[in-house]
């Protein structure tokens, strides 16, 4: 990869700077729980919090580490709504459902702020158009959102023209995961890293060196969900998303996170000046529909070009990384029972920071009490 004048970038998310791993032990032997949660990303950790509020004894396992998947390696946008823009969601899923999704996710965003205030910034976000056609699409979105009483403003500034979503936010995703894990452990949950779920059924979860005996298991996995639960393979497909991060940039100042080209590309400036930039999945073409979560040459080159020409900073690239998420055929997440005693949530179609936290709580309520008011 280019930028040859600078030292080689590390293959780590920029979010790992100053956030040490928790170093939790793997599971060895058998343990009992009311509920076993598989996956310690933002969704699994939100699920654990809700289960604890409902009084359940929780054991949770992760094949890697807390926040080791997309949950600790993403763009850090906290967006209201589902992945599709509001006017498109209204067309595809019905107006009432799209409005309900906005309201539920806005409430969830407030919850995220309250749970982990040190990891969150209330910045608002910008959707910036790249051409006249996209600007017209912004206007169409604005019209439907205004009719539905949702928070949005027309925007014109040095970043370009488009829309401002004043209630959105941004966060340090890895820090939030680690903080949620610490909170869960303090409340009595037992969390195990480097512990892959090998077999999941109504008796619990078998792992390489142990077994969680539990009548209920909740799988909270985004990328690779269809591998953990093969029944979902027809509806769920895994894709790789890539990012780069820079040293603190002194030649630009972005107050708000920006997304552009219909949400394909996105960047934000962190409090220490670093830029985190992601996108250009389309440049990689079909090669990006993969479970391989390592950065690729073509997408990284496109990100670098965008960093220089669009974001307009000369700051050296220090971090390059990728992670997996999954998409569904209908654009809605999976939140359902998949086998006797086994429930699954995931496949947030690229924007799971807020939706995943919400779905994690919804599936906890469904699995324990059989009902929830939180379904999108």
Ligand X SMILES: Cc1cc2nc3c(=O)[nH]c(=O)nc-3n(C[C@H](O)[C@H](O)[C@H](O)COP(=O)(O)OP(=O)(O)OC[C@H]3O[C@@H](n4cnc5c(N)ncnc54)[C@H](O)[C@@H]3O)c2cc1C
Residues 219 and 228: beta-carbon distance below 8 Å: yes
**How far apart are alpha carbons 376 and 372 in whole angstroms?**
10
352 binds ligand X (CB under 6 A): yes
CB closer to ligand X, 115 vs 139: 115
Would you state the structure tokens that stand for residue 365, as one six-digit string? 């309520």
CB closer to ligand X, 269 vs 353: 353
Question: How big is the site for ligand X, counted in residues (CB under 6 A)?
Answer: 42
Residues 258 and 125: beta-carbon distance below 8 Å: yes
Q: Which range, of 42-50, 134-142, 230-238, 305-313, touches ligand X by CB under 6 A? A: 42-50
CB closer to ligand X, 9 vs 40: 40
Helices (H), the chain: 42-53, 86-93, 95-115, 132-147, 173-186, 225-228, 281-284, 297-309, 353-369
CB closer to ligand X, 19 vs 325: 325
278 binds ligand X (CB under 6 A): yes
Rule CB under 6 A: choose which of 56, 138, 270, 325 binds ligand X: 325
Would you state the structure tokens that stand for residue 329, as one six-digit string? 């055929």
197 binds ligand X (CB under 6 A): yes
193 binds ligand X (CB under 6 A): no
Q: Which range, of 14-22, 115-123, 312-320, 344-352, touches ligand X by CB under 6 A? A: 344-352
- Say which residues have a Cβ less than 8 Å from residue 255's Cβ, sequence separation at least 6: 123, 269
334 binds ligand X (CB under 6 A): no
69 binds ligand X (CB under 6 A): yes
CB closer to ligand X, 99 vs 169: 169
Least distance (Å) from ligand X to the CB of residue 220? 6
245 binds ligand X (CB under 6 A): no
76 binds ligand X (CB under 6 A): yes
Place of tokens 């059989």: 370
- Say which residues have a Cβ less than 8 Å from residue 164's Cβ, sequence separation at least 6: 124, 125, 126, 152, 153, 154, 155, 256
Place of tokens 């670093």: 274
Among the listed residues 265, 281, 303, 347, the one whose alpha carbon sits nearest the alpha carbon of residue 75: 265
Among the listed residues 254, 331, 328, 252, the one whose alpha carbon sits nearest the alpha carbon of residue 76: 254
Site string for ligand X, 1-40 (x = CB under 6 A): -------------------------------------xxx
303 binds ligand X (CB under 6 A): no
73 binds ligand X (CB under 6 A): yes
Least distance (Å) from ligand X to the CB of residue 354? 6
SS3 154: strand
362 binds ligand X (CB under 6 A): no
Least distance (Å) from ligand X to the CB of residue 270? 13
**How far apart are alpha carbons 363 and 156 in whole angstroms?**
40
CA distances from 191 to 25, 197, 218, 346 (A): 8, 13, 14, 20
Residues 244 and 319: beta-carbon distance below 8 Å: yes
Rule CB under 6 A: choose which of 241, 247, 302, 315 binds ligand X: 241
Site string for ligand X, 84-113 (x = CB under 6 A): ------------------------------
191 binds ligand X (CB under 6 A): no
- For residue 13, the 8-state DSSP code is -
Rule CB under 6 A: choose which of 320, 342, 356, 363 binds ligand X: 356
Rule CB under 6 A: choose which of 124, 162, 223, 245 binds ligand X: 223
Would you state the structure tokens that stand for residue 97, as one six-digit string? 């459902």
Least distance (Å) from ligand X to the CB of residue 58? 15
**Chain CA centroid to CA 335, Å:** 15
275 binds ligand X (CB under 6 A): no
Among the listed residues 305, 100, 276, the one whose alpha carbon sits nearest the alpha carbon of residue 171: 276
Least distance (Å) from ligand X to the CB of residue 132? 26
- For residue 10, the 8-state DSSP code is B
Residues 185 and 4: beta-carbon distance below 8 Å: no
Given the rule CB under 6 A, which residues bind ligand X? 38-44, 61-64, 68-71, 73-77, 79, 196-197, 220-224, 228, 241, 243, 278, 323, 325, 346, 348, 350-354, 356
């Amino acid at each position: 990869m280019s930028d040859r004048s600078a030292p080689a970038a590390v293959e780590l998310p920029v979010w790992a700077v100053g956030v040490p791993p928790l170093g939790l032990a793997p599971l060895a032997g058998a343990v009992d729980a009311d509920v076993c949660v598989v996956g310690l990303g933002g969704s699994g950790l939100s699920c654990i919090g809700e289960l604890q509020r409902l009084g359940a004894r929780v054991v949770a396992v992760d094949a890697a580490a807390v926040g080791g998947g997309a949950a600790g390696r993403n763009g850090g946008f906290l967006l209201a709504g589902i992945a599709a823009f509001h006017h498109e969601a209204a067309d595809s899923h019905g107006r009432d459902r799209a409005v309900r999704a906005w309201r539920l996710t806005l409430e969830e965003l407030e919850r995220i702020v309250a749970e982990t205030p040190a990891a969150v910034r209330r910045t608002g976000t910008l959707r910036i158009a790249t051409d006249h056609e996209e600007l017209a699409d912004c206007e169409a979105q604005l019209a439907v959102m205004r009719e539905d009483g949702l928070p949005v403003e027309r925007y014109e500034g040095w970043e370009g023209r488009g829309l401002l979503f004043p209630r959105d936010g941004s966060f340090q995703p890895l820090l939030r995961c680690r903080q949620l894990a610490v909170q869960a452990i303090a409340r009595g949950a037992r969390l195990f890293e480097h512990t892959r779920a090998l077999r999941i059924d109504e008796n619990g979860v078998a792992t390489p060196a142990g077994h969680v005996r539990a009548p209920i298991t909740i799988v909270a996995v985004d990328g690779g969900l269809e591998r953990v639960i093969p029944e979902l393979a027809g509806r769920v497909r895994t894709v790789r998303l890539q990012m780069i991060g820079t040293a603190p940039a002194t030649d630009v100042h972005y107050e708000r996170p920006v997304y552009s080209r219909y949400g394909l590309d996105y960047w934000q400036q962190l409090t220490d000046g670093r830029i985190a930039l992601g996108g250009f999945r389309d440049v990689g073409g079909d090669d990006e529909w993969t479970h391989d979560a390592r950065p690729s040459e073509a997408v990284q080159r496109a990100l670098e070009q965008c960093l220089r020409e669009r974001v307009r900073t000369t700051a050296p690239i220090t971090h390059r990384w990728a992670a997996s998420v999954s998409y569904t055929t209908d654009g809605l997440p999976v939140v359902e029972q998949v086998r006797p005693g086994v429930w699954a949530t995931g496949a947030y179609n690229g924007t799971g920071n807020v939706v995943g936290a919400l779905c994690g709580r919804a599936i906890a309520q469904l699995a324990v009490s059989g009902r929830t008011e939180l379904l999108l």
